[in-house]
Amino acid sequence: MKSSMKEREILKPVEKREVYHVLQDLTVEVEVMQNPYNFRLEQLFQMAARINKNRSFLFVSKVLGKHLAVNPKIPLLAGSLLALRYLEVVHGESDPRAEKIATAIQTQEGLDEIWNSLQKDPIPLQRAASFIGFAETATALGHAVFSTFRNNAKYIHTTREQIDQLTSIINFEEEHSHATSHRVYALDTEFFQDDSEVVLVDDEVTTGKTAINIIRKIKEEYPSKNKFTVVSILDWRTEEYRERYRQLEEELNVQIHTVSLIDGVVSIAGKPSIEKNIEQTENNFQPEVNYLSVAHLLPAETVQQSSSTSVGGIETKAGYLKATGRFGLSIEKEKEFSNQIQAIADFVKAHRNGNKTLVIGTGEFMYLPMHIASRMGEGVYFHSTTRSPIYHSNSNDYTIKRKFEFDSPENQGVTNYLYNIEVNQYDEVFLIFERMSSLNATSSLIKALSKSNIPTIHIVNMTEIIE
């Protein structure tokens, strides 16, 4: 296949240069080459230092709802903006709502209006595409990109979980990550047995190695696949790493497009100076804890009854939801599930008793809690637990100031984190779980949240617990 990467990937002159000093001695220099919607960088991310021997820095997104709490419509619209950017770059079709979405994200005004427009009038897709979101951070982003379309779209996301009774159809590595192995579990074993374009969705691309690894694997398993697009909010590949995409095109006889909101180059110098932080003192605050089961609102056929085994060897027997896209999801099924999610959102909203509410998703389970949060009214924010360990510091100009460490309720034996929940910041929290190993498994997380003096914690479990 004739490559067009060279024409698409030549680095443009620098539009903007920013230098970030992270924890004193870590310097991150960012050069922006393309910024089609004129975002200010601080509207999209802040810098932090990650606890990772392979990569010391982290772009902490302000539009994902992963490490920082956001209005839940912002990450949903960020996905839609990427979908429209993909449509323009790859298919040559523009939609005037792209600029409106960008403005809404930048100003945080008019979010409901543009979101309602997309819900009523989704985007038609002329050629079939299979969207893949990367775990864990981009599972919701990939889902939001996919769900923007009206037709010709299907979705699946990678997972770090080992699901018993199922065989992964694609396995690949993400070398720089804290959890490197990715798996893809498709209930339909013919999910990739068609001529659809493969669209890989990630929040940020620095080297592009992860995309290269999965493209190689897909091409090996499904030789007929020859069209790929890598979609990301941030693309920081150097010319050397861009050249690797061009080489891969020639080697595999494929075509690779790239789409992003910010395109540039990042360079790193030094290491973060880690100072001992003032430990968060224990307190005796006891929140009111309510348990809400919504399993009765989901038909039995929407649950995949498969257990999982964590890296610690602990088994969780509760099932998974098919609506997440973990096992493959058509756009038609997505619309069916949307009605069920609305019913769950109405049920959860009826239990609100505060003016400032935080909805927390867990790990890879982000999109459905985010979507539920977006339908719960005003004063609702969304956040997610994560496996990603980040340095926290009391320094005034540093992004991550508070850090909560706890045992994962879904995968006991796996350490999870939450960041930047201040004391007395929220009236209540809704913890929304896809599955839990047991009710007792939430105790570590509840203890961590109690340090923020949150009066009420609602535990919302989407599937029945199997003891």
Helix 73-91 / helix 97-107 crossing angle, nearest 10 deg: 150
Local structure of 301: helix, strand or coil: helix
Q: What number of residues does the chain have?
A: 467
Q: Which amino acid is at 180?
A: T
Provide the β-strand partners of residue 191.
none
Can you list the residues of the chain whose pLDDT is less than 50? 2-8, 176-179
| SS3 state at 277 | coil
What are the tokens at 371? 């979507």
Which of helix, strand or coil describes residue 6? helix
In terms of Cα–Cα distance, which of 348, 366, 358, 352 is closest to 454? 358
Element (H, E) at 9: helix 5-9
What are the backbone angles phi and psi of residue 387, rounded to the nearest 5°? -85, -10
Whether a cis peptide bond, with omega within 30° of 0, leads into 7 is no
Question: Domain 288-321+329-461: which topology?
Answer: Rossmann fold (3.40.50)
β-sheet bridge partners, residue 59:
47
Residue 33, judged by CB atoms within 10 A of its CB (0-12, 13-18, 19+), counts as: middle
The pTM of the full predicted model, rounded to 2 decimals, is 0.94
The reported pLDDT for the residue numbered 319 is 86
List the Cα angle 431/437/441 in 5-degree steps: 60
CA 325 – CA 65 distance, rounded (Å) = 19
For residues 135 and 193, give the distance between their C-alpha atoms in angstroms, rounded to a whole number.
22
Rounded Cα distance, 402 and 419, in Å: 6
Instruction: Give the residues across from 435 on adjacent strands.
Output: none
Q: How far is CA 222 from the centre of its chain?
A: 26
* Residue 264 β-bridge partners: 32
**Positive or negative, the Cα torsion across 239, 241, 242, 243?**
positive
Contact 130, 199 (CB under 8 A): yes
φ/ψ of 257, rounded to 5, equals -95, 155
- Asked if 133 and 155 count as a contact pair (C-beta separation under 8 A), the reply is yes
DSSP H or E segment with residue 428: strand 428-433
Between CA 361 and CA 352 the distance in angstroms is 17
pLDDT at 63 (0 to 100): 98
Helix H or strand E segment including 262: strand 255-269
Report whether 399 contacts 46 (CB < 8 A). Answer: yes
- For residues 189 and 165, the answer to whether their CB atoms sit within 8 Å is no
Conformation bin of residue 302: beta by default, left when phi > 0, alpha when psi is -120 to 50? alpha
* Token reading at 389: 């360990």
The domain locations on the chain are: 288-321+329-461
Q: Give dist(CA 299, CA 309) in Å, integer.
A: 25
